Amino acid sequence: MPTRFREAQARIITGYTGGLMAVSAVPGSGKTFTLSHLAARLVQRVMQAPQAPDEEVLVVTFSNSAVNGFKRRIADILRDELGLLPQVGYRVRTLHALAHDIVRERPALVGLVDDFQIVDERTADGIITDLVQSHYRNWTVAFEQYISESIQENRKRGISQRDLPSVLTDLAKLFINRAKDRQTEPADLLQSLEQAGLPAPEFDLLHFATNVYADYQHSLAIRGAVDFSDLVRLALRALADDPAFLARLRLRWRFILEDEAQDSSDLQEQMLRLLSAGRHWVRVGDPNQAINTTFTTASPHFLVDFLRRPEVVDAPLPVSGRSSRKIIALANELVRWCTTEHPSAALQTAFFPQEILPTRPDDAQQNPPEATSSIYIDHELGKGISPDQELQRVMASLRRFLESHPDKTVAVLVPENSRGFKLAELLQAEALPFEELLRSTSGTRQAAAMVRAILDYLAAPHQSAELARLFREVWWKLYYGDEDEANLAALHKALHGFRQVEGLMFPAQEQDLRSLLNLSELDASWVETLEAFLLVVRRWLSALALPIDQLILTISQDIFDDPADLALGYHLAVLLGGYASEHPEWGLPDFARELQVISNNERRFLGFDEAQNGFEPTPGVVTIATMHASKGLEWDRI
């Protein structure tokens, strides 16, 4: 049976043949569905009459999870509906990945070596932090003017030594990102400051941040590296400096489809405008769902301005089957009030005036019945609740819902990752099933913690306390979980109190563990468990001569058997192997500290989690997600 399209969807999928088009899509209107079918139709056209031997339809989207989702959908349509090879004729990339592809093809155009590196978040943050600390020594007195005179002297010292450097580090990161988004080089800023002769102390922060920026770029240059903020501006420079290179890419990507265009920045728009040459460019997004404007230079106004250009075809997707009619009416009224009656005139442009329409009676996706949809506000007038009390109310609501609706999906949306981690702990304590779309998942954190515990011991193999901790936190958790606490306590105590660890690990002659560790009261099976543990630890000690990435792979094969966990171990090995190349002087304690950062949720571990590989909510399982991570996903209850 052929796929049925709504009228607005069909106008885009079957009606588009080229040119500029803007698709303003309301929530639940089938944006991804429409864009995937349009991409497949264009791939069919390209395969039948290519203008270049390597021509592809280029789909540009926001996140890695969206990339995987588009690839899967387009491949299915090509294979099942159009009878074409599923993996040929298109490329799906994030904007930064596309910029990386462009720079990687011609690195010399932007002054980079062929094997240039991209520093990750940890390295970039570390460089900036060190530079701020170095520069701060010369600015301490000047910046202490920002500390209130009413604060006691001992508290002032703490602010000066800890708080101010932390604030300045955050300021420097933001300043550097904004400068790069504006394509402003450190030398240009320094020259402008010198020519302006701006007086101190009013512009001390500007001088400070500019000098940190200059040294940061110098540090990257020494490494032969760039950061993620460099990629788009360098790609733009490469395209502008080599017309022949640009012409070749324009032939390769004759059709460009841009997803989530409401989150595009000025630089990203410039890059796609150059590549498309103003010819065949479809921009799809919802101006009222921008999520990046609060912490980047992205703005939905770029999409709105594009939509209003006379040469651009306006093809809205206004029909939504996601919500009930009363929810749609509420959303429409909020947008109408904001755009026409908001008391602040400046905020009347915050939303784009577009109306969400319910589905027609013959639509395949009918709006949910009004009786089954509602908004419940758990609040008593005049009574406030603490954050912990709020979590307890959420837990009580989740328990009731999971018991009565095991076949439904449910999510808790949190404002920040740390809040989600607290909820995850409560759900885990009550054995309620959950999955996370946070900075890192609990599975990632637990795996990183296990590998870290192993490295902690291998860095100090003579310490019985570390050996005992390794047995408790890794071996016992892997095989026994929370069971047999009494036997665990006895074995842990025996290992912790044994002082001749070298003799235990590499005995000169055959030894009887039962008598050596005073385990006569334990069953023989527990002694065998301990012997198996020591055998594996000996193998890890023997592997210490290996490079860190190979050591991690060896460890992973011993403690993981699930394919997902093994893949995670591989990603950890690649991560630490990269750090080893960058810091050849590092030892096991340094690598263990990096894993601690991941296990403590202090930094996202990019490279392996479910959000990166596509996500579908599971019925009967609570999803914990930040507001940003939940974009584009649906649940029965939120």
Three-class SS state of 487: helix
Phi-psi region of 3 (alpha: psi -120 to 50; beta: other; left: phi over 0): beta
Tens-digit pLDDT profile for residues 472-486:
888 887 777 666 677
Last residue of a domain, one of 173, 193, 221: 221
Task: Classify residue 177: in a domain, yes or no.
Answer: yes
Provide the pLDDT for residue 501: 76
Distance CA(567)–CA(560), nearest Å, equals 10
**Burial of 172 from C-beta contacts in 10 A (0-12 / 13-18 / 19+):** buried
The conformational region for residue 100 under phi > 0 = left, psi -120 to 50 = alpha, else beta, is alpha
Euclidean distance between CA atoms 309 and 305, whole angstroms? 7
Give residue 439's pLDDT.
58
Give residue-wise pLDDT tens across range 254-271: 999 999 999 888 888 999
Q: What is the CATH number of the domain that holds 520?
A: 1.10.486
State whether 620 and 575 are in the same domain. no
Q: Which 3 state secondary structure label does DSSP give 13?
A: helix
Does 160 or 47 have the greater pLDDT score?
47
In a domain, 113, yes or no: no
The dihedral through the CA atoms of 571, 572, 573, 577 has a sign that is positive
At residue 202, φ and ψ (nearest 5 deg) are -60, -30
Same domain, yes or no: 494 and 597? yes
485, 604: one domain: yes
Question: Could you tell me the residue range of the domain that residue 410 belongs to?
Answer: 387-441+613-626
Which of the four pLDDT bands, split at 50, 70 and 90, describes residue 600? low
Residue 291 belongs to a domain with what CATH number?
Answer: 3.40.50.300
Lowest mean pLDDT among 30-34, 245-249, 327-331, 443-447: 443-447
Residue 303 resides in a domain: yes
- Could you give the number of structural domains in the chain? 5
Under a CB-based contact definition with an 8 Å cutoff, are residues 422 and 386 in contact?
Answer: no
- At residue 531, the pLDDT reads 81
pLDDT per residue as tens digits for the range 210-227: 999 999 999 999 888 899
452 and 560 assigned to the same domain: yes
The reply to whether 513 falls in a domain is yes
- Residues 363-378 have a mean pLDDT of 86
Same domain for 180 and 279, yes or no, is no
pLDDT digits (tens, 9 = 90+) for 340-358: 999 999 889 889 999 999 9
Residue 606: what pLDDT?
43
H/E stretch holding 44: helix 31-48
Q: What is the pLDDT of residues 293-340, one digit of tens each?
A: 555 667 888 999 999 999 999 999 999 998 899 999 999 999 999 999
Mean pLDDT on 597-610: 52
Q: Is there a domain that residue 84 lies in? A: yes
DSSP code at position 475: I
The 3-state DSSP class for residue 240 equals: helix
Inside any domain, residue 35: yes
C-alpha span between 440 and 204 (Å, rounded): 38
pLDDT, tens digit (0-9, with 9 covering 90-100), for 74-93: 999 999 999 999 989 999 99
Residue 110 domain flag? no
Residues 107, 110, 113, 115, CA torsion sign = negative
* Bond from prior residue into 201 cis (ω within 30 degrees of 0): yes
Last residue of a domain, one of 174, 191, 221: 221
| Distance in angstroms (rounded) separating the CA atoms of residues 605 and 608 | 7
Please return the burial class of 377, using the count of CB atoms within 10 Å of its CB with bins 0-12, 13-18 and 19+: exposed
**Same domain? 171 vs 29:** no
Looking at 161, 196, 221, which one is the last position of a domain? 221
**Does residue 243 fall inside a structural domain?**
yes
- Based on the domain organization, do 272 and 192 belong to the same domain? no
The residues facing 284 across adjacent strands are 23
Count Cα neighbours of 185 within 13 Å in the Cβ-side half-sphere.
Answer: 6
The rounded distance, in Å, linking the Cα atoms of 448 and 454 is 10
